[in-house]
Amino acid sequence: MTAIFLAFSLTPNVSHTEQHHVAPVRFHPSESPAPKVWLVERKAGLEIYSNGLRIDDEFLTSTRTRSYHAFDRQTWRAAGGEARPAGIVFHTTESRMAPFEPSQNARLQYNGRNLLTFIAKNHLYHFVIDRFGRIFRVVAETDYANHAGRSVWADDRFIYWSLNQSFLGVAFEAQTESSDIATRAQIDAARVLTEMLRSRYHIPVADCVTHAQVSVNLQSMRIGYHTDWAANFPFREVGLGDGYSTPVAALTLFGFEYDSAFLEANGGRVWPGLVIAEEQLVQDAAAHGTTVDLYRRKLRQRFRDWKPDAGGSSADDMAGDR
């Protein structure tokens, strides 16, 4: 359905002169520097960090070295080749779950190891946090992983397209529809892992997002093709402020929409970031002297003409949309 806050048109009230930029997005999550975290010790496939983080490399695999283009937000032009991770995408594995209680301990461990074997075989994420809060590195941080597929995000400087290459994938062993999606141990583990990754790669808060925030459907031009962590991600507990307040660039830059199925995955709630993005879309349409519907169509056509797949993406970037 048409996004609920844009179910109207604006009367043109300014010059129709063409402009070649879009107003910068207003980012609301409070930005804070990442704590300084360093590697204390590495031994027998285990890394120990200064903030208490422990990473197990038992299931470590590799793919190919990360290589991607970030696109300048104002011009949509490739800003040069990059190899450093620009952000983090948080996922849920949507795998088989056993009740989290002592009597199920053997089953919990069996499910977890089977899951890690499958993820390693298919190179699905860089890190997996199991239900006991143990952190496994599955794909080397230097390489891409098949975690995001068709996806888009933007901060105040750059647009990132097909986030397999540009963002690290961190998955919770969890199911979205569970009443308690993540265990306390998983949330604590996500916090120290996020601190380390932000410290090591200088990742800003605004580029720490959930799969539901970045996943897109190119046929319907809607966001939320995947809806893991469409709601209830513990942004504050992980040290990331209110991530759902970050404006969704797919709406403001490309004219994407969302539908009732996406809202249902959110528990019927509309993210503050969606409201902010829609308000900005209204303002940008007025600044261009046109209606919201016409302005959205213009953005979509510009997106199609842009053809980001020709800007450095490959079949590797599209993987993960199963």
Global pTM? 0.86
Domain containing 97: what range? 4-318
pLDDT at 55 over 90: yes
Task: Determine phi and psi for 235, rounding to 5 degrees.
Answer: -55, -50
Q: Which residues of 97-106 are buried (b: 16+ CB within 10 A; e: fewer)?
A: bbeeeeeeee
- Angstrom distance (rounded) from CA 269 to CA 251: 17
Burial level of 211, CB count in 10 A (0-12/13-18/19+)?
buried
pLDDT recorded at residue 270: 86
State the virtual CA torsion across 70, 259, 278, 285 in degrees, nearest 10: 90
Structural domain count of the chain: 1
Which has the minimum average pLDDT: 105-119, 254-268, 271-285?
A: 254-268
User: Which tens digit of pLDDT belongs to each residue from 167-213?
Assistant: 999 999 999 887 789 999 999 999 999 999 999 999 999 999 999 99
pLDDT band at 34 (very low <50, low <70, confident <90, very high): confident
pLDDT band at 27 (very low <50, low <70, confident <90, very high): very low
pLDDT band at 321 (very low <50, low <70, confident <90, very high): low
Task: Determine phi and psi for 72, rounding to 5 degrees.
Answer: -60, 130
pLDDT band at 136 (very low <50, low <70, confident <90, very high): very high
- Angstrom distance (rounded) from CA 287 to CA 282: 9
- DSSP 3-state of 191: helix
Q: Is 147 left (phi over 0), alpha (psi -120 to 50) or beta?
A: alpha
What type of residue sits at position 306? Answer: W
Output the domain CATH number for residue 116.
Answer: 3.40.80.10
104 and 225 in contact (C-beta within 8 Å)? no
Quote the Cα angle for 268-273-276, to 5°. 115
- Could you tell me which residue, 15 or 85, shows the higher pLDDT? 85
pLDDT recorded at residue 268: 83
Mean pLDDT across the stretch 67-84? Answer: 90
pLDDT recorded at residue 160: 94
pLDDT recorded at residue 264: 85
Task: Determine phi and psi for 27, rounding to 5 degrees.
Answer: -95, 125
User: CA torsion sign, 242 to 235 to 166 to 41?
Assistant: positive
- 39 strand-pairing partners: 49
